[in-house]
Amino acid sequence: MASTISTGLFNSWDVTNFVVNQGHGVKGLAEMGLETLPKPYVQPLEERITMSKTTHEESIPIIDVSNWNDPNVADSICNAAEKWGFFQIVNHGVPIHVLENVKDAAHGFFGLPAEEKRMYLKDHSPTNNVRFGTSFSPQAEKALEWKDYLSLFYVSDDEATAFWPPVCKDEALEFVKKSELVIRRLLEVLMKRLNVKEIDKTKELLLMGSKRINLNYYPKCPNPNLTVGVGRHSDVSALTLLLQDDIGGLYVRKMDGNSWIHVPPISESLVINVGDALQIMSNGRYKSIEHRVTANGSKNRVSVPIFVNPRPFDVIGPLLEVLENGEKPMYKQVLYSDYVKHFFKKAHDGKDTLEFAKI
């Protein structure tokens, strides 16, 4: 392949070694001035987004949450979580400078030289809670995904201050903190429809006892149609709150069909989606929907999801309040860390992780 020969990376092993093991990331590869897509990134036809049916006739709901006490707001949120599993919120109260700063900080982190980012690869990182990586699970994947990430598991302010990379820690922490209220409000509203009247301490820990913030970087890609930014998956969180920049590329599977809907960037909005843990706890009422991201041929894209989760040692299953009306449980009780480890050890495979919890 002419382009990889000109970079000095002669075969697929060289490319993977350079990107994954040496910590250059796909950004390092993209910056070599490739003309064609290296082979390890070529996705099978059926996984390419260009081969899928995309529709512009419908879009996920956009909900103005400026008044949380308005019953119409609550209804719209619960309906969206049931029907779409995905929606955007505006007037959510997270200040614009917090959103702008964390996107800038993402560019700041990925703009560091490879030697500095390499310090956060799994084998070098001073803590398991900070991980720089590429693709999703390169050891399990047939084709790599065109994305680098920094994943930060929030334990405490002190831990974050001590271990998160200096170039982005304040901004990432500020986004986590400033989004806490909107997360709580969303969960209160969603719980009410499930017959959970108040979120006591036990419920709070079960729903939002752990948080992970990822900084995702999708560099400009030669032949974006042959690969993906992120393959089809559903999140394993309870709820995900996603900040995207103005480039676009996130697609959501329409629940009742085979078509994919674009999630258009809306300035100052946040994308919210139900994750597997909430689908399980709601006994299937709220839907954790498959989504994927395209690669982009002309721009570098960043996104910043906050995954709101149970704690690793929590056992999750359908909530008692949900089963009180006599409905049959669809999912068993599972240790949350077992569920997450199962997700992380395979390649992205749509909604297959949920099979792990099905009765």
Ligand X SMILES: O=C(O)CCC(=O)C(=O)O
Ligand Y SMILES: CC(C)(COP(=O)(O)OP(=O)(O)OC[C@H]1O[C@@H](n2cnc3c(N)ncnc32)[C@H](O)[C@@H]1OP(=O)(O)O)[C@@H](O)C(=O)NCCC(=O)NCCSC(=O)/C=C/c1ccc(O)c(O)c1
Residue numbers at the binding site for Fe ion (CB under 5 A): 235
Question: Site residues for ligand Y, window 256-295 (CB under 6 A)?
Answer: 275
Distance CA 278, CA 194 (A): 11
Interaction between residue 149 and ligand Y (CB under 6 A) = yes
Distance CA 138, CA 250 (A): 21
103 versus 348: smaller Cβ distance to ligand Y: 348
Residue whose entry in the numeric block shows the structure tokens 């986590």: 176
Distance CA 283, CA 260 (A): 25
Residue 308 contacts residue 281 (beta carbons within 8 Å): no
If you write DSSP's letter for every residue of 168-198 in order, what string do you get? THHHHHHHHHHTHHHHHHHHHHHHHHTT---
Q: Give the 3-state secondary structure of residue 75.
A: helix
Tell me the pairing of strands 270-274 and 62-64: unpaired
Q: Closest approach of Cβ 354 to Fe ion, in Å?
A: 14
Closest CA to 284 of 328, 338, 339, 232: 328
224's contact among Fe ion, ligand Y, ligand X, none, with CB below 5 to 8 A by partner kind, is: none
Stretch that binds ligand X, among 9-17, 112-120, 167-175, 242-250 (CB under 6 A): 242-250
Q: Closest approach of Cβ 285 to ligand Y, in Å?
A: 19
Closest CA to 308 of 225, 196, 214, 167: 214
103's contact among Fe ion, ligand X, ligand Y, none, with CB below 5 to 8 A by partner kind, is: none
Interaction between residue 122 and ligand Y (CB under 6 A) = yes
Interaction between residue 152 and ligand X (CB under 6 A) = no
Interaction between residue 341 and ligand Y (CB under 6 A) = yes
Interaction between residue 274 and ligand X (CB under 6 A) = no
275's contact among ligand Y, ligand X, Fe ion, none, with CB below 5 to 8 A by partner kind, is: ligand Y
- DSSP designation for 126: S
Interacting residue with ligand X among 28, 38, 219, 305 (CB under 6 A): 305
Interacting residue with ligand X among 293, 295, 306, 357 (CB under 6 A): 293
Q: Which distant-in-sequence residues (6+ apart) come within 8 Å of 178 by Cβ?
A: 94, 95, 98
Rounded to 10 deg, the angle between the 201-208 and 180-193 helix axes is: 110
Interaction between residue 237 and ligand Y (CB under 6 A) = yes
Q: Closest approach of Cβ 151 to ligand X, in Å?
A: 9
192 versus 351: smaller Cβ distance to ligand Y: 351
Interaction between residue 216 and ligand X (CB under 6 A) = yes
Which amino acid is it at 301?
R
Distance CA 172, CA 41 (A): 29
Interacting residue with ligand Y among 92, 169, 193, 212 (CB under 6 A): 212
303's contact among ligand X, ligand Y, Fe ion, none, with CB below 5 to 8 A by partner kind, is: ligand X
Q: Which distant-in-sequence residues (6+ apart) come within 8 Å of 190 by Cβ?
A: 77, 78, 81, 239, 278, 282, 286
Interaction between residue 238 and ligand X (CB under 6 A) = no
* Count of all residues that appear for the chain in the document: 359
Distance CA 111, CA 305 (A): 19
Q: Give the 3-state secondary structure of residue 97.
A: helix
10's contact among Fe ion, ligand X, ligand Y, none, with CB below 5 to 8 A by partner kind, is: none
The residues binding ligand Y (CB under 6 A) are 122, 128, 131, 133, 136-137, 149, 151, 153, 210, 212, 230, 233, 235-237, 275, 307, 309, 312, 336-337, 340-341, 344-345
Residues at the interface with ligand X (CB under 6 A): 214, 216, 230, 235, 242, 244, 250, 291, 293, 303, 305
